[in-house]
């Protein structure tokens, strides 16, 4: 659904896009600012629980209203702690303004109006709601039937909002028809189940000196990258970039990467991993400070650990435009 993809592309501070074509799982994940039960696998695959669904839906609506009204106190109250820290880290890593930049959304998060709740499930301290219908991001066009998955974590005295996943069914038309016909086996897959694990708390970072992004072009590959042992990234069969949490540092910066084929891939496409520094001065182009590249037909190394350097010349270029 192109209009939804446009929305996510505009909101890079809070989004991460993954595509695993050979697994036929097309997830566009919004870690928006912008979220107790127990159960085994069998109970997690049961039909939607009306009571749980109502409770979690109220949490999402409260969070969405906080975003629309730009109410920081309400947002802070209803958002799970690890997500708050992750968003704070991302804002500071892009040299943004905290907490004002929480609310820099091109449009409001999607409402639940008109969507059908398919599943409401909890396991341990985690829970998920799965909705089906015309998910409207308010960017025009005619929304088609797709999936919206909301994630929550039980923290303190109640459920908190964590994140949302938009599952685009435009390339999975048979799945869309199955769901429209009442066959919900697809949404009982592991990707839609709460895992019961409390997400780890991120390391708190300071405001970055240099805005940096890690870029990957990795057709058919699953690439994981770590920068300075703080900023973790995963790219699956995609061309995409992500903000380096904590930014780049003066002098030596450590980078680690691992590469493996996604299931079913047997090609020898080219592959590229790069790190760029970005300036806040109009007209100043990004400065490439690291590159690992494999030409078509060559086999990439399974893993590597090395360093890249931010020297005085690169610093002047991005900070002063000289």
Position 48 scores a pLDDT of 55
Chain CA centroid to CA 280, Å = 24
CA-to-CA distance for 238 and 240, rounded, in angstroms?
Answer: 6
Cα 241 to Cα 208: distance, rounded to the nearest angstrom: 18
pLDDT for 108 equals 84
Q: Residue 226 pairs with which residues in a beta bridge?
A: 232, 256
pLDDT the model gives residue 140 = 80
Q: Determine the Cα–Cα distance for residues 87 and 32; give it in Å rounded to an integer.
A: 8
Does this model's pTM top 0.85? My answer is no
List per-residue pLDDT tens for the chain, 322 residues long.
334 434 434 443 333 333 333 333 333 333 333 333 333 443 444 445 789 999 999 999 999 999 999 999 999 999 999 999 999 999 999 999 999 999 988 888 999 999 999 999 999 999 999 999 999 988 888 899 999 999 999 999 999 999 999 999 998 999 999 999 999 999 999 999 999 999 999 999 999 999 999 999 999 999 999 999 999 999 999 999 999 999 999 999 999 999 999 999 999 999 999 999 999 999 999 999 999 999 999 999 999 999 999 999 999 999 999 8
**Where are the extended beta strands (E) located within 60-206?**
116-123, 126-134, 145-155, 158-167
Domain range annotation of the chain: 2-192, 211-320
């Amino acid at each position: 659904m192109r209009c939804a993809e446009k929305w996510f592309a505009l909101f890079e501070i809070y989004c991460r896009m993954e595509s695993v074509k050979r697994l036929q799982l097309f997830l566009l994940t919004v870690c928006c600012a912008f979220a107790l039960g127990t159960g085994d696998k069998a109970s997690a695959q049961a039909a939607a629980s009306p009571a749980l669904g109502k409770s979690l839906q109220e949490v999402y609506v409260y969070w969405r209203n906080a975003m629309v009204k730009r109410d920081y106190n309400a947002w802070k109250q209803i958002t799970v702690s690890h997500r708050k820290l992750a968003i704070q880290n991302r804002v500071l890593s892009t040299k943004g303004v905290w907490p004002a930049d929480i609310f820099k959304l091109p449009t409001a998060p999607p409402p639940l109006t008109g969507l059908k709740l398919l599943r409401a499930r909890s396991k341990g301290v985690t829970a998920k709601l799965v909705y089906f219908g015309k998910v409207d991001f308010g960017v025009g066009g005619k929304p088609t039937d797709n999936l919206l998955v909301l994630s929550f974590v039980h923290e303190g005295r109640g459920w908190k909002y964590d994140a949302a996943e938009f599952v685009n069914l435009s390339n999975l038309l048979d799945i869309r028809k199955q769901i429209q016909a009442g066959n919900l086996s697809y949404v009982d897959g592991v990707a839609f189940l709460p895992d019961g694990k409390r997400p780890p708390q991120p390391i708190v970072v300071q405001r970055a000196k240099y805005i940096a992004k890690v870029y990957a072009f990795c057709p058919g590959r699953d690439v994981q990258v770590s920068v300075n042992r703080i900023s973790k990234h995963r790219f699956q069969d995609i061309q995409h970039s992500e903000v380096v949490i904590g930014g780049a540092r003066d002098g030596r910066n450590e980078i680690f990467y691992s590469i493996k084929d996604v299931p079913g891939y047997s090609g020898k496409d080219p592959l590229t991993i790069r790190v760029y520094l970005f300036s806040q001065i109009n007209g100043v182009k990004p400065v490439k400070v690291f590159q690992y590249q494999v030409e078509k037909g060559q086999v990439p190394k399974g893993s590597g650990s090395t360093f890249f350097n931010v020297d005085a010349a690169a610093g002047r270029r991005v900070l002063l435009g000289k």
